Each structure stands twice: as structure tokens, then as C-alpha cells.
């Protein structure tokens, strides 16, 4: 086992609410399961998963304050959809509080909420694991998407992006530019591959 992982877990268990910590553990194991299927390093997948929501120990106001304090620039869209910002601060904390230097892990944490065009394998694994982890139960299509995640990673990615966008639109939430860019990129890719 990666020696860092136990001390990171201990720290997160003391900072996150129990449900959020449980979700983080569940995402880390789901990341490892997807890494087994698609051939990615298990320790790196686990680390991305356990840390992905590390900024969620703060509320959105505190998250924005911390971004200002650490010089992390926020776009107008992010300020209008503040629930996406924990991903950016999370990547910063992963590096500066937890000592992660692996750029692929930091990238996966930074884009785990919105996705982005041209995602790496680890970016996709974390984005999908966050959505399908066994403790999640809010989305009706989850059983089908869980099965799909282990059959066709890109199709699962697309369906999750589409479902998230529909959900945000139907609930009247502002959708961040990156959420839209990511969706349109993968929609075009899917159409071109037909």
C-alpha cells in the first residue's frame, strides 16, 4: 500500500463530515476498480479518489476566500456556480497540504466536477467514479451507468455529462462554461465516431 495513504485518510477523517469521508473512501475504491479494468496504476488512482473532495471541509464562502488567499483565479462562471470551485481548491490542497506532485492526479482532482475537453484516462476514471460510487443513490439511471462504466468508459463519461447537464438545466442552476465545453467536446467526438 502507498505509505502516504493511511496518514491522508486519518487527516481527511478528522476534517470531513462522516458522510463525505465515506464518499471519498468509496470513490477511491471505485477509482481502483476502474483502474484495474482500464490499465491504470492502482496507487495513483486511489490517491486521486481519496483526495478529490478534500476541499469540501469548507463551505462555498470559505472556499472562495481560500482561493483568493492562495491566488487561485476564479472565472465569472465559477463564481456563478460556486459548487464547482471545490475541485480547483482541492487540487491546490492536494499539492500543498498533502504533498502530491503528480500532475495527472492534480489534473484529475481539478476537473472532477465539470470535466473538460481531452480528459486523460485518470481524469475520466475519477470523474466517473465520483458519479457511480456504491454509496450514491440519487440518479435513477445509475445501475445502467455503473454497468456501462466497466464496458465503455467514453460512453459512460458522455452519459454522465449529459445527465448532469440535464439535471442542472431542469433545476435552473447556472452551468459553468467548462461543464458545457466538456459536454460539447465529447458530443462532437461521439458523432464523429459514428
Q: Which residue carries 480528459 as its cell?
A: 119
- Which range of residues in 34-42, 46-54, 146-154, 177-185 is near Fe ion by CB under 5 A? 46-54
The C-alpha cell at 191 is 458523432
Which positions from 101 to 130 touch ligand DGI by CB under 6 A, shown as an x/- string? -----------xxx---------------x
SS (H, E, C) 90-157: HHHHHHHCCCCCCHHHHHHHHCCCCCCCCCCHHHHHHHHHHHHCCCCCCCCCHHHHHHHHCCCHHHHH
Nearer to Fe ion, 108 or 148 (CB): 108
- Contacted by 173, from Fe ion, ligand DGI, none: CB < 5 to 8 Å by type: ligand DGI
Does residue 2 bind ligand DGI (CB under 6 A)? Answer: no
Does residue 79 bind ligand DGI (CB under 6 A)? Answer: no
Residue 26: which of 50, 58, 59 has the closest Cα? 50
Residue 154: which of 113, 125, 112 has the closest Cα? 125
Q: Which residues between 153 and 192 bind ligand DGI (CB under 6 A)? A: 164, 168, 173-176, 179
Does residue 53 bind ligand DGI (CB under 6 A)? Answer: yes
Q: Is 176 helix (H, G, I), strand (E, B) or coil?
A: coil
H/E segment holding residue 23: helix 18-38
Does residue 74 bind ligand DGI (CB under 6 A)? Answer: no
Does residue 75 bind ligand DGI (CB under 6 A)? Answer: no
Interface with ligand DGI by CB under 6 A: which residues?
A: 23, 53, 81, 83-84, 112-114, 130, 164, 168, 173-176, 179
Amino acid at each position: 500500500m502507498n505509505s502516504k495513504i493511511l496518514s491522508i485518510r486519518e487527516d481527511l477523517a478528522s476534517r470531513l463530515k462522516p458522510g463525505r469521508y465515506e464518499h471519498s473512501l468509496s470513490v477511491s475504491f471505485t477509482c481502483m476498480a476502474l483502474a484495474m479494468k482500464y490499465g491504470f496504476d492502482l496507487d495513483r488512482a486511489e490517491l486521486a479518489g481519496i483526495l478529490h473532495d478534500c476541499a469540501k471541509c469548507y463551505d462555498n464562502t470559505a472556499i472562495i476566500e481560500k482561493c483568493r488567499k492562495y491566488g487561485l483565479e476564479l472565472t465569472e462562471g465559477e463564481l456563478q456556480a460556486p459548487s464547482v470551485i471545490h475541485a480547483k481548491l482541492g487540487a491546490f490542497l492536494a499539492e500543498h497540504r498533502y504533498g502530491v506532485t503528480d500532475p495527472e492526479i492534480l489534473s484529475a482532482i481539478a476537473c472532477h466536477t465539470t470535466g473538460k475537453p481531452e480528459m486523460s484516462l485518470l481524469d475520466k476514471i475519477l470523474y466517473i467514479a465520483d458519479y457511480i460510487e456504491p454509496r450514491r443513490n440519487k440518479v435513477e439511471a445509475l445501475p445502467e451507468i455503473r454497468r456501462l462504466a466497466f464496458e465503455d468508459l467514453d460512453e459512460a463519461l458522455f452519459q454522465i455529462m449529459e445527465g448532469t447537464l440535464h439535471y442542472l438545466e431542469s433545476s435552473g442552476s447556472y452551468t459553468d462554461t467548462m461543464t458545457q465545453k466538456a459536454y460539447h467536446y465529447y458530443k462532437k467526438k461521439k458523432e464523429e465516431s459514428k
